[in-house]
Structure 1
Amino acid sequence: MKRREFLTAAAALSAGPWAQATERARVTPEKWSRLVIVGGAEDRVQDRVILRKFIEYAGGPLARIRLITAASGVPEVVAQSYSAVFSDLGAQNFAVLPLNSREEAMNPQLSADIMQADGIFMSGGDQSRLMQTVFDTPVMEAMHKAFHFNHCCIGGTSAGAAVMSRHMIAQGAAVLRPRKDIVETDIGLGFLPAAVVDQHFSERRRLPRLLSTLAGRPDLLGVGIDEDTALVVERARAIEVFGKGTVTLVDMGQAQTNAGDVAEEAQIEMLGVQLHTLPAGHRYSAVRNVPQNWPAGLRRAIEQLVKPGPVYL
């Protein structure tokens, strides 16, 4: 089955590979499954706040950290850059996974390495290239098992951030206003089952692109992440933002749109859209018994983000 066909079919499934998380993937208070979703262009030279935090969440200097460069057109160059940075930051068990083809993604030793990892970081590049390499392979299954069952910290920047959601933005024009059918979508890794991620958000003025995407899928929460900014999603628990920019959440759950009535590439009317901007340095708990003064819409968005997703097996 092609990935695009799978995306359509998966939305209708109530059981199967994407629906096996529930009881088998409970988190424990000692260690939480975390996603570190980076908007691209993270600092690798000066303070390197995001990569330091990723090492901390993976377990510290002794954590087994593995890098995936399959999204990149120059994987050797990217591998050298990250190897130098992680080494300089004190990561003592860092390695680049040999994963640049579907043939390599079938290697059982590679899957075993992923299952033993404490942290997996995906570089930037082309998200479609990454998914063409790993979709429906033992590597993709191992990543889900590592995250849901072993609480491995999964990080990704730019293209590595785009693949975090199940409904993934593959490409789309940098439009000035929301338009119908100008964004090409595909299926991603599915760690965020009810959201869609866009990166380089403020820098590349991608709000209209994200709105255009959500016009066709108003059930999803839009997540726009600025450069050198990370959204951390603690499964079933909380989200936080760190780095230098902002995370923008776009909620179409109660909005009205005429996207179904207008012609392809026509401007879209969108009424009642909720938008939240979350600056770096803030943490937002999804635990109900923690007193908060947030609007109901923000709480709903946070709960949608931390919602446990199904496991791909």
Structure 2
Amino acid sequence: MASGLLSQPLRAQAPRQARLMVIGGAEDRLQDRLILRKFVDYSGGSGARIRLITAASAEPDGVWDSYRKVFQELGVADVQRLALTDQDSAHAPELQQDILQADGIFISGGDQGKLMQALWETPAYTSLHEAFHVRGCCLAGTSAGAAVMSRHMIAQGVSVLRPSKDATATDMGLGFITQAVVDQHFSERRRLARLMSTLALRPDLLGVGIDEDTALVIERNQAIEVIGRGSVTIVDPTRMRSNVDEVEAAEQIEMLGVELHMLPAGRRYSMDTADIPAHWPGHLKKVLMRLAMQGPIRG
């Protein structure tokens, strides 16, 4: 794996609870900064090594300056930007080492396609998986950084008013969430129809819509939690019946039997059977387990 190329030993550390923080964009950076505070806490507090990936942004220097200031104001002394800009940089052994030494990695917004062009099938891609799955690094992504968390990501698509065929195009993401596709800025940009258009063609996946200043926190195989000020919408097409194969491109789609769950901020959902409330629908645990389950280490 990528760690075999390192020239320096990795810092010893106790195993940690690896968490994904999938953020819907526009997280508060000026006031309470709850989501970013939680990211620092999950990464180990003020002594954590925080690393930023800004490769998705059209203005990476400005994005870096903004987050550097916030994390330093939150008490983190060791905040650095990872030297990832393109495919060539993603092969650098120094970048692999920096990724594997991180306690928390934060992926900024921008263009998810641009980010995946830089990372796809590179040693940096492998190192991100090793950092999360093996070393327990906290991995967060906002906006485009949230979209890339899933194996199948929405690469293009306008916010349509109604589900319609071929309204979106998907591509390969980082694959930390294997059984769902993520959409961000969800309520604010009215993206339910866009997400459902995607699911009409991929009924094997769950749809996850995350509002702005809201984060879905996934504790592998254990629990999910919603923090911030909005909600997470889960669309389950498992029992769906659709005419998507019968209609032409851009035509409206019939979608019957789709289930929708709203998870508001401040709620935590444990996968422990003993903690499941009586009011849960019988199959909700199975739905949430699909989000919380650990995927494979990609290489």
* 1:58-90 deviation digits (Å, cap 9, x = unpaired): 111101110000000110010000000000011
Q: Does 2:215 align with 1:244?
A: no
Structure 1 CA distance, aligned partners of 2:237 and 2:135? 33
State the shift of 1:288 in Å.
2.6
State the shift of 1:177 in Å.
0.1
| TM value normalised by structure 1 | 0.89
State the shift of 1:247 in Å.
0.3
- Report the AA paired with residue 257 of structure 2: G
- Report the AA paired with residue 303 of structure 1: M
- Report the AA paired with residue 129 of structure 2: H
State the shift of 1:92 in Å.
1.6
- Report the AA paired with residue 87 of structure 2: R
State the shift of 1:292 in Å.
2.3
Retained in 1: the 8 A contact 2:15–2:136? Answer: no
Q: Does 2:169 align with 1:156?
A: no
Q: 1:295 aligns with which of 281, 285, 290?
A: 281
Structure 2 CA distance, aligned partners of 1:218 and 1:249? 13
Structure 1 CA distance, aligned partners of 2:146 and 2:205? 16
State the shift of 1:198 in Å.
0.1
Q: Does 2:99 align with 1:126?
A: no
Structure 1 CA distance, aligned partners of 2:113 and 2:47? 32
State the shift of 1:101 in Å.
1.4
Higher mean C-alpha deviation, range 87-96 or range 191-200:
87-96
Retained in 1: the 8 A contact 2:209–2:234? Answer: yes
Retained in 1: the 8 A contact 2:112–2:145? Answer: yes
- Report the AA paired with residue 47 of structure 2: L
Retained in 2: the 8 A contact 1:221–1:250? Answer: yes
* 1:70-117 deviation digits (Å, cap 9, x = unpaired): 000110010000000000011121111111111111101100110111
Structure 2 CA distance, aligned partners of 1:196 and 1:147? 19
State the shift of 1:147 in Å.
0.5
* 1:215-250 deviation digits (Å, cap 9, x = unpaired): 000110100000000000111000000001000000
Q: 1:179 aligns with which of 156, 164, 172?
A: 164
* 3-state SS of paired residue (2:238): coil
Residue of structure 2 equivalent to 1:69? 54
Q: 1:277 aligns with which of 259, 262, 269?
A: 262
State the shift of 1:267 in Å.
0.5
Structure 2 CA distance, aligned partners of 1:65 and 1:254? 42
Structure 1 CA distance, aligned partners of 2:75 and 2:198? 40
State the shift of 1:127 in Å.
0.3
- Where structure 2 has 5 or more consecutive residues not aligned to the other structure, the ranges are 1-13
Residue of structure 2 equivalent to 1:109? 94
* Pairwise CA RMSD: 1.1
Retained in 2: the 8 A contact 1:127–1:162? Answer: yes
- Report the AA paired with residue 226 of structure 1: D
Structure 1 CA distance, aligned partners of 2:16 and 2:102? 14
- Report the AA paired with residue 296 of structure 2: P
Structure 2 CA distance, aligned partners of 1:285 and 1:296? 14
Structure 2 CA distance, aligned partners of 1:291 and 1:259? 36
* 1:5-40 deviation digits (Å, cap 9, x = unpaired): xxxxxxxxxxxxxxxxxxxxxxxx962111000000
Structure 1 CA distance, aligned partners of 2:67 and 2:215? 17
Retained in 1: the 8 A contact 2:16–2:135? Answer: no
- Report the AA paired with residue 97 of structure 1: L
* 3-state SS of paired residue (2:246): coil
- Report the AA paired with residue 308 of structure 1: Q
Higher mean C-alpha deviation, range 189-198 or range 93-102:
93-102
* 3-state SS of paired residue (2:263): strand
Residue of structure 2 equivalent to 1:305? 291
* 1:177-197 deviation digits (Å, cap 9, x = unpaired): 000111011000000000000
* 3-state SS of paired residue (1:155): strand
State the shift of 1:289 in Å.
3.4
* 3-state SS of paired residue (1:289): helix
What percentage of residue pairs aligned between the two structures are identical?
58
- Where structure 1 has 5 or more consecutive residues not aligned to the other structure, the ranges are 1-28
Q: Does 2:153 align with 1:168?
A: yes
| TM value normalised by structure 2 | 0.94
- Report the AA paired with residue 127 of structure 2: A
- Report the AA paired with residue 252 of structure 1: P
Retained in 2: the 8 A contact 1:164–1:189? Answer: yes
State the shift of 1:270 in Å.
0.5
The within-5 A match list for 1:247-262 is: 247-262=232-247
